[in-house]
């Protein structure tokens, strides 16, 4: 069964500095990978996805993520953090060939705190 | 394009009572999910529909939870009877093929 790990409960970064939020995954085949962001009292907002092709994918609000098959990672990055980026970030994986019929599995989330 | 609509936004009930949540997915999306998100945790899949058929309900507590998706469009999730540990946000999402789009969720408090 597919799974996702987000090793950091919280990431702290100063505004203007680059940020990285880590994610590793486990699937039996080639994964579909996603990042979502959640603001307080809101649902999850889709940021970006990796399906196939270029390992560096760009998404909303200046975020990007790098797919690394050998390290089974899909870390979220942004070159210059904003205070408004402070939120809860979730990595998710889908195994398109798995028996779970493309079940979408989420990690436990990483809280990003950007200080002024 | 209209997003995923959920109602109600908030619900407070006493334990052992019943409650129902409603979801209207994005038009044309064949896949519909219900997730449970307990405070401080990631969303946990309860049930997944493909059109009006269930494709995964392995983590749905079937003794108290039920869900249906009539005509492959709207869906309802019911809890009967509710327990204190059911306090959570219930998220509905729909997907056309790859990524899923989420509603704002229903926050359930069981007292």
Instruction: State pLDDT tens for residues B8-48.
Output: 999 999 999 999 999 999 999 999 999 999 988 899 999 99
Residue A45 pLDDT > 90, yes or no?
yes
Check if the beta carbon of residue A64 is closer than 8 Å to that of residue A49.
Answer: no
- Which tokens go with A6? 């987000």
Helices first, then strands: H and E counts in chain B: 0, 11
**Of A69 and A28, the one with more pLDDT:** A69
Nearest chain B Cα to A108, which residue? B42
Looking at residue B1, its pLDDT comes to: 61
Looking at residue A99, its pLDDT comes to: 59
Instruction: State pLDDT tens for residues B54-63.
Output: 989 999 999 9
Chain B residues 68-97 within an 8 A CB cutoff of chain A: 91, 93, 95
Mutating which of B9, B98, B107, B109 best tests the A interface, going by the most A Cβ atoms within 10 A? B98
CATH number for the domain running over A3-115:
2.60.40.10
| A26-30, B6-10, B49-53, B56-60 — most confident range | B6-10
Residue A81 pLDDT > 90, yes or no?
yes
Residue B99 and residue A43: Cβ atoms within 8 Å?
Answer: no
Residue B103 and residue A94: Cβ atoms within 8 Å?
Answer: no
**Of B78 and A40, the one with more pLDDT:** B78
Mutating which of A104, A108, A110 best tests the B interface, going by the most B Cβ atoms within 10 A? A104
CB pairs under 8 A between A and B: 53
Residue A49 pLDDT > 70, yes or no?
yes
Cα–Cα dist A43/B103, whole Å: 6
Cα–Cα dist A21/A5, whole Å: 11
| Band (A43; pLDDT cuts 50, 70, 90) | confident
Cα–Cα dist A9/A1, whole Å: 23
**Of A25 and A102, the one with more pLDDT:** A25
Q: Does A44 contact B at CB distance below 8 Å?
A: yes
Looking at residue A101, its pLDDT comes to: 60
Task: Among A32, A44, A102, select the one facing B91 at the smallest CB separation.
Answer: A44
Task: Among B41, B100, B107, select the one facing A104 at the smallest CB separation.
Answer: B100
Domains assigned to chain B: 5-100 (2.60.40.10)
Looking at residue B71, its pLDDT comes to: 84
Instruction: State pLDDT tens for residues B80-90.
Output: 999 999 999 99
- What is the per-residue DSSP string for A6-52? ---SEEEEETTS-EEE--EEE-SSPPEEEEEEE-TT--EEEEEEE-S
**Percent of chain A residues topping a pLDDT of 70:** 96
């Amino acid at each position: 069964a597919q799974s996702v790990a987000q090793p950091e409960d919280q990431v702290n970064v100063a505004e203007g500095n680059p940020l990285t939020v880590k994610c590793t995954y486990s699937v039996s085949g080639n994964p579909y990978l996603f990042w979502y962001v959640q603001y307080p009292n809101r649902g999850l907002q889709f940021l970006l996805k990796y399906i196939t092709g270029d390992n560096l994918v760009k998404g909303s609000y200046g975020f990007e993520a790098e797919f690394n098959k050998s390290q089974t990672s899909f870390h979220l990055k942004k070159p210059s953090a904003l205070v408004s980026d402070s939120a809860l970030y979730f990595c998710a994986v889908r195994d398109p060939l798995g028996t779970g019929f493309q079940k979408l599995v989420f990690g436990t989330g990483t809280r990003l705190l950007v200080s002024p | 394009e209209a997003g995923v609509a959920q109602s109600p936004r908030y619900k407070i009930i006493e334990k052992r009572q019943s409650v129902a949540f409603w979801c209207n997915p994005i038009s044309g999306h064949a896949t519909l999910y219900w997730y449970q998100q307990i405070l401080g945790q990631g969303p946990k899949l309860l049930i997944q529909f493909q059109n009006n058929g269930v494709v995964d309900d392995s983590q749905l507590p079937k003794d108290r939870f039920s869900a249906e998706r009539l005509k492959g469009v709207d869906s309802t999730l019911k809890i009967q009877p509710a327990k204190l540990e059911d306090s959570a946000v219930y998220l509905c999402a729909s997907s056309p093929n790859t990524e899923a789009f989420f509603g704002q969720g229903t926050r359930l408090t069981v007292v």
